[in-house]
Every structure is written in C-alpha cells, then in structure tokens.
Amino acid sequence: MYSYFLFLLILIPFLALSAYASAKVNTTFANYDRVPNRSSMTGYDTAVRLMKSRGVHDISVGRVNGRLSDHYNPAKNLVNLSVSTYGSASVAAVAVAAHEVGHVMQNKRGYVPYKIRNVLVPIANIGSRLALPVILVGILIDLLWLTLDVPVGQYVMYVGIGLYSLSTIFMLVTLPVEFNASRRAKKMLLEDGILTEEELPGAKKVLNAAAMTYVASLLISLVYFLRMLLVVLSFSRNRR
C-alpha cells in the first residue's frame, strides 16, 4: 500500500506537467494564430514552398479535421495539415506546417533517429497492448503452478516488462526527432523568407510548447515502466 501511494506521489506531478503542457500548446497556438505573418503565406502555401524549394516533388499536402492534428504520413507520401493550420496565414500555422516538412526532410535525408522511430512504431504499439496481459498471465502461472521447478511465471512477467519498455524507448527516440524537426522548421522559415527575424520568436514559442508535450509523455511512461518493474520484482521476491 505504501509503495502505491509513493507511486501516486511521483506520478501526480508528471500528470500535472502533462496537463500544463497540453494547455500551453493550445494557448500558445491560439495566441500566435491571431498574429498574421508578413508574407501572407498559409500553412498549405508554406508546406508546398518549403518542399518545392528543396527538390521534394513527390509529397502531397492534404487537410484533415481537428485542431493541431497535423502529421506526416511517409507511407502515403502525404503531409496532413489540420483545419487550424491548412488555410491560416498566421505565425503559428506556418510554424506547424514547417515542422511537418521538417519530418519530410528527415525522411528524405535519412536522419537516423527518424528511421529508428519508424521501425519502432508498430513494435511499440504491439508491446504496449500486450504488456499488461502478459504480466498478468505470468502472475497467474506463478500462483497456480507452485510446483514448477523453473520459475516460468517470473520469466513471462519479465517478457511483459520488456514489451512495455518498447513504448518507453519509442518515446525516448521521439524526443530528438521532434526537436530536430523544429530546428529544421525555424531554419527553413527564415531561409525561404516566410517569417522574418522579428516573427521567428513567436514560431519558436509554438514549437517549444509542442515539444514540452513529448517530454511530459516520456516522463509519465518512464514512471509507469519503473512502477511495473518494481511490482514484478517485488512479487518475484515475495514468492521465493
């Protein structure tokens, strides 16, 4: 019971950080979405120009529903911009669009962390779904078959921990990918004259607020992973 309360005490600040980061990215985007950029370029215009000027002609730019649901889909050669970004000529919109083009350039230039993240996506999704069921199966085996010479249940639990760790590793690899895409975005916006030096700080605030959400997600995932690991280790020790 004590360990559970300790876990909550550690987790609550990170949940608060996650909520703050989510609110911060929404308010920062909203603030700078009211600031028109001097080039009058929309999010769509920005994505098209940045890719064209860098010799990328095989990626389409589409529009998806939602707010801040922007993403790059390399399998479909498609940059999807949300309604809040696609047609808006604000500082915030061009910053978000340029960030997605940053991912396009990572893919085109063979940025290693981006490649690693793409490999981890399906594996991490499977691992996060199977981790808890596998751990529970391991506990049941350990409880019901006490006469086994080999601690099969413990081994199964460790497999579950390993599966969950994949999602944490995925989030860890995501950090440099997102930060790098933002750096590329800021550089491209200046190089192509879409934003001026005076406008760039606003774009930086939007991108930095978005990056904070990834940091918070990683910390929460790490706390859950450590909690799960400690529970399994404690259970195994008590069964000896």
What stretches of the chain show up as alpha helix (H) in DSSP?
A: 2-33, 43-53, 83-86, 91-109, 112-144, 152-191, 200-239
Query: Among candidates 136, 131, 135, 138, which has minimal Cα distance to 152?
Result: 138
* Beta partners for residue 50, in sequence order: none
Reading phi first (left if > 0) and then psi (alpha if -120 to 50, else beta), residue 114 is in: alpha
pLDDT at 3: 62
Is there a catalytic annotation at residue 100? yes
196-201, long-range: CB within 8 Å, 24+ apart, which pairs?
Answer: 196/38, 199/35, 199/37, 199/38, 199/91
Question: What is the Cα–Cα distance from 25 to 19, expressed in whole angstroms?
Answer: 10
Residues 151-204 pLDDT 10s: 666 777 778 878 888 888 988 999 999 999 999 999 999 999 999 999 999 999
Residues 60-90 pLDDT 10s: 999 999 888 999 999 999 999 999 999 999 9
- Which residues make Cβ contacts (< 8 Å) with residue 44, sequence separation at least 6? 61, 63, 81, 86, 87, 97
Residue 208 pLDDT exceeds 70: yes
* Beta partners for residue 81, in sequence order: 63
- Give the pLDDT band of residue 221 (cuts 50, 70, 90): confident
* Exposed / middle / buried, residue 12 (Cβ in 10 Å: 0-12, 13-18, 19+): exposed
Residues 15-32 pLDDT 10s: 898 899 999 999 999 999
